[in-house]
Amino acid sequence: MRTSIATVSLSGSLTEKLTAAARAGFDGVEIFENDLLASPLAPEEIRARCADLGLTIDLYQPMRDVEAVPEDEFARNLRRARAKFALMNRLGADTVLVCSSVSPLARDDDALAAGQLSRLADLARDHGVRVAYEALAWGRHVSTYDHAWRIVEQAGHPALGTCLDSFHILSRSSDPKDLEGIADIPGEKIFFLQLADAPLLGMDVLQWSRHHRCFPGQGGFDVAGLLRHVLRAGYEGPLSLEVFNDVFRQADAGPTALDARRSLLVLQEQVGLGDLPAPVVPTGIAFAELVAPDAEPVSGLLGALGFTRTARHRGKPVELWERGEARVLVNTGPAARRDGACLAAVGLESPDPAGAARRAEALLSPVLPRRRAPEDAPLDAVAAPDGTELFLCATGRPELPDWRADFEDLPHTPPAPDPLRIDHLSLTQPWHHFDEAVLFHRAVLGLDAQESVDVADPYGLLRSRAVSTADGGVRFPLTVGAAPGDDTAHARHIALATDDVVAAARRFTEAGGRLLPIPANYHDDLAARYEFADGELDVYRELGILYDRDAHGVFRHCYTHTVGRVFFELVQRDGGYQGYGAANAPVRLAAQRTARYGAAR
């Protein structure tokens, strides 16, 4: 099906919006009136720009407070409509959105509404325009899709149909029964379909709609369920996104448009449309790659953690460090930035690297060159929205290219006992693109998303949401700072799983590593909350080990100091604990602030 996006969903000038929509592969746009009014381009120029970009103008919107009003008011509305239809002719747009009235002048009189809409449709037809009448969830007298449809049906005018909007419908009721009436509307009378999701916020619906809409799959609505009803009705128009969102208004239009179209591709897959390659869920983490201007600080940390430098890339300044199943690449190549080491790439074990890359590409992820140099193994790799490179690996599978083949072994001492593996990689996100990242990891990699949690940093609330595979083989907690430019979310980290966090932490400190000191007050509180074996808590105090419980089990964890923009965590999961110690995050964040800026004593 054709896809479209309302210009109000994107940031910037009208031409920036059009360019972004076209680049993301949309077929058309809805032009929001304020975007046109603020544009220095004449309607004919906008039409030409859209044509150049391969975009149709699928809707002009909105007209407000048109129907069920006193005759003198309606005469003024018709006068205005005449000008708007003439404008639409100049634009080359043939469908106009009319929202159900919120005017105090409007009467609760369906016959009056139908009669006036019919007269509006007469005028529209004379201009070659169709009127799509939509119930706003907060409409004065018409607030449900079936009520709007009854009025359209009563009017019985060929140039009058209805517009369905998933927000207005699903914000009023999530009961599937209430959607069944959709399939009774003749498909050709559904002139337009606007799609938006929203988090389930339980707030005033007008404010909810104006500030918190998001793309399908990013909120709590069953947009796919609604779409199935609309398709069953026989709707054949575009799938069009209309999203009012305070963050998208600020974010660069290009990434937002990609995010938007990705959401529609996933939605179409959910309802059996489109032909996306199937998801290939990764089975584990092959490696984490740090990019660093100087290998020394990172090497020191890895060494203290018991990692051994086992191999070196044959053609690039990249070293492989291993301890058990945990592998870390240290890359001192040109991508390094002077603010220090950062977690820039992840190797994912994939049952079908090429298939995974095909799905990523179909879902608009940049596919990275398969070879960096002629002698490199032809690895599949894609970029996540935040720029993190995701290498799709088949480690040790002889039939497939193996990243390990690019490395030559170095002489090395035997690794430390008690192997580690990567438990999770914490991928902090740029401020405006948090929901996009969650959708990407779900849709492209087939990960599951956990609930979003707020975490109090001393200087603001962070938002955190983990995505993971069902068995926990791949876990990425995604975190975003409290404000754009916030350096709280500056550092990412690598969490290493051990069966004995006390032993691992002790070995680390004995090897000269510095663990993040945790305030004694924290451990005093633990003593008040839980009962511990004799001496257990003393060890946690000494090493700065944090403690959490959930319904399944226990989590013990501690942190190294930060090098550049990366640090490590040692974690011990017992009894099937599923979380990431979010309850301890405020203490950890405050301790990192103290370590970084001084104790403020």
Binding site for a copy of itself (CB under 8 A): 11-13, 15-16, 33-34, 36-43, 79-80, 82-84, 87, 201-204, 207, 210-211, 246, 249-250, 454, 456, 458-461, 482-486, 517, 519-522, 524-525, 527-529, 586-587, 589-591, 593-594, 599-601
Tokens representing 572 are: 């011990």
Residue 373: count of CB within 10 angstroms of its CB: 11
Q: Minimum distance from CB of 293 to a copy of itself (Å)?
A: 27
How far is Cα 379 from Cα 284, in angstroms, rounded to an integer? 16
Q: Considering the complex, state which of residue 91 and residue 494 has its C-beta at the smaller distance from a copy of itself.
A: 91
Q: How far is the CB of 519 from a copy of itself (least distance, A)?
A: 5
Give the shortest CB-288-to-a copy of itself separation in angstroms: 28
Specify the amino acid at residue 567. Answer: F
Looking from the CA of 61 toward its CB, the CA atoms found within 13 Å total 27
Cβ proximity to a copy of itself, 147 vs 172, nearer residue: 172
For residues 146 and 182, give the distance between their C-alpha atoms in angstroms, rounded to a whole number.
8
Shortest distance in whole angstroms from residue 537 CB to a copy of itself: 12
Structure tokens at 171: 């914000």
Least Cβ distance, residue 552 to a copy of itself (angstroms): 18
Which C-beta is closer to a copy of itself: that of 84 or that of 358? 84
359: part of which helix (H) or strand (E)?
A: helix 353-362
Return the number of the residue (268 or 464) whose C-beta is nearest a copy of itself.
464
CB of 173 or CB of 250, closer to a copy of itself: 250
Q: How many residues does the chain have?
A: 601
Among residues 269, 240, 304, which one has the least CA distance to residue 59? 240
- Contact 18/45 with Cβ under 8 angstroms? no
Identity (one letter) of the amino acid at 253? A
Pick 173 or 207: Cβ nearer a copy of itself:
207
- Least distance (Å) from a copy of itself to the CB of residue 520? 7
DSSP codes, 10-63:
S-S-HHHHHHHHHHTT-SEEEEEHHHHHT-SS-HHHHHHHHHHHT-EEEEEEEE
Nearer to a copy of itself, 193 or 253 (CB): 253
Residue keyed to tokens 């979310």: 489
Computed over its alpha carbons, how large is the radius of gyration of the chain? 28
Bridge partners of 313, per DSSP, are: 407
Tell me whether residue 50 or residue 422 sits nearer to a copy of itself (CB atom). Answer: 50
Query: What span, in angstroms and rounded, lies between the C-alpha atoms of 70 and 548?
Result: 65
For the CB of residue 251, give the shortest distance to a copy of itself in the complex, in Å.
9
Beta carbon nearer to a copy of itself, 208 or 555? 208
Min separation Cβ 87 and a copy of itself, Å: 7
- Strand, helix or coil for residue 365: coil
Closest separation between CB of residue 456 and a copy of itself, Å?
7
Tell me how far, at minimum, the Cβ of 596 lies from a copy of itself, in Å: 12
Residue placing its CB nearer to a copy of itself in the complex, 278 or 527: 527
For 382-416, give one letter per residue: b (16+ CB within 10 A) or e: bbbbbebbbbbbbeeeeebbbbbebbeeeeeeebb
- Spell out the residues 6+ positions from residue 308 whose beta carbon is closer than 8 angstroms to its own: 321, 322, 323, 412, 413, 414, 415, 416
Distance CA 318, CA 80 (A): 66
Closest separation between CB of residue 62 and a copy of itself, Å?
A: 13
CA 319/CA 333 separation, integer angstroms = 11
Eight-class DSSP state of 429: E
Select 101 or 331, whichever has its Cβ closest to a copy of itself.
101
Closest CA to 74 of 122, 33, 29: 122
**Residue 38 or 405 having the CB closest to a copy of itself:** 38
Shortest distance, position 533 Cβ to a copy of itself, whole Å:
16
List 448's β-bridge partners, or say none.
Answer: 468
Q: Which lies closer to a copy of itself via its Cβ, residue 87 or residue 276?
A: 87
Min CB(12)–a copy of itself separation in Å:
5
Contacts of residue 271, defined as CB under 8 A and 6 or more positions apart, other chains included, come to 224, 227, 228, 231
DSSP class of residue 146 equals H
